Amino acid sequence: MHVEQVLIKPLLTEKSSIETENTNRYVFKVQRKANKYQIKDAVEAMFDVKVVDVKTAVLPGKVKRAGRLTKKSSSWKKAYIKIQDGQKLELFQGI
């Protein structure tokens, strides 16, 4: 899996913003098949920072109603990435 394919998008929510301010930990949506080593390498290559720790969570899909039928969205994986103190990620470069 290539470095560009591992990270899908950053998750910019209120909870992740508080996590970033307090513990220098960023949250990303990642590919389901990506492991912690691939995630670490992708973040270090794309943002030029030193990753200290990676924690992952696989979130189950939700069941939604579509009229009489029910549909299930697919499950997805998110990664909590802690970077070295004094460094930060510029998520909106060039905007």
What's the CATH number where 29 sits? 3.30.70.330
pLDDT in tens, 47-56: 999 999 999 9
Considering the domain boundaries, does residue 90 fall inside one? no
Residues of the domain holding 66: 3-83
Q: What is the DSSP string of 13-73?
A: -HHHHHHHHHH-EEEEEE-TT--HHHHHHHHHHHH---EEEEEEEEEPPPEEEETTEEEEP
Give me the number of domains the chain comprises. Answer: 1
Rounded-to-integer distance, Cα 73 and Cα 24, Å: 31
pLDDT at 94: 47
Considering the domain boundaries, does residue 92 fall inside one? no
Considering the domain boundaries, does residue 11 fall inside one? yes
* Secondary structure element (H or E) that encloses residue 11, with its range: none
Considering the domain boundaries, does residue 42 fall inside one? yes
Residues contacting residue 76 through CB under 8 Å, at least 6 positions apart: 29, 32, 58, 59, 61
Considering the domain boundaries, does residue 26 fall inside one? yes
pLDDT at 4: 84
pLDDT in tens, 61-95: 999 998 999 999 999 999 999 999 888 887 755 44
Average pLDDT, the chain: 91
